[in-house]
Structure 1
Amino acid sequence: MVPDEAARPGAVQLSLLQGFPVRAPQAGPPLAGRLPVARVLVETPLPHLDRPFDYSVPAELDEAAQAGVRVKVRFNGQELSGFIIERTAESDAGHTLVPLQKVISPVAVLTPPVRDLVSAVAARYAGTVSDVLRVAVPPRVARLEKEFLAAAAA
């Protein structure tokens, strides 16, 4: 197209992929009815990935996937651990969201005060939130979680 033609009404730019079959979007698992998007802080040592990413919440994980719980997610072809920061109704990602793989533990270990403290420490000492989280939130111990959940239910 000549530059003058771009301003002409009705001018069409041809697609380079014209003639290829268009794939229909694949249907994923049914999503949670209320707040179907989870913002997840993925545990990665890379500083440029030190921010939350949006994931869709499958309906079967709706009850367990609450803010502060540990989850497994697909990230760049790998299954990584992370923490749900919050649940929202919409995403501004601009693409189809990948669903959460599973909730590792129903116990919310990343509470808002811990999250605020971790963010402040990371900012103060020029670290990543993910690195500080590895130290601030202990690794999962299933036996202790069972005892905690049993005590909370009693």
Structure 2
Amino acid sequence: MKVSLTVNGKDVTADVEDRTLLVHFLRDTADLTATNIGCETTSCGACTVLLDGESVKSCTVLAAQADGRAVTTLEGLASESGEMHPVQRAFHNEHGLQCGYCTPGMVMAIVSLLKENPSPTEAEVRTGLEGNICRCTGYHNIVKAALAAASEGAK
């Protein structure tokens, strides 16, 4: 089937199998590999992207379900000039990553969280990230990064 998406502001159209997951469309068709494949059951959140501005786990969304919609991946957060998004910058400054596997999903989940709640408490950040797993258990610095991004006014 033919699927057309706007990915990070660019139109991407391809013929795909009807069972193609959005995560595979992004990685294999759009060649955007920051979105990681972890569990493929929505348990880990490594594949989190924004679909029409809302946080979704792309391992359980069919590419066909996203047809005609806008997707933002980690690669689409930085400005055209290459300046990091405030959440990306906060992850860097607060050492919010260890192995980095969960980082793209965590960043995208935090971008979504801050859009809904621009001034979360630590508890609200922890609750908001419950669907994203860090296997290295770097949660303390991830939460610090989210709170730092919020204090910068990130959205």
TM-score interval w.r.t. the shorter chain?
Answer: under 0.3
Q: TM-score, normalised by structure 2?
A: 0.27
Whose Rg is larger?
Answer: 1
Name the one with the larger helix percent.
2
Higher relative contact order (CA 8 A, sep 6+): 2
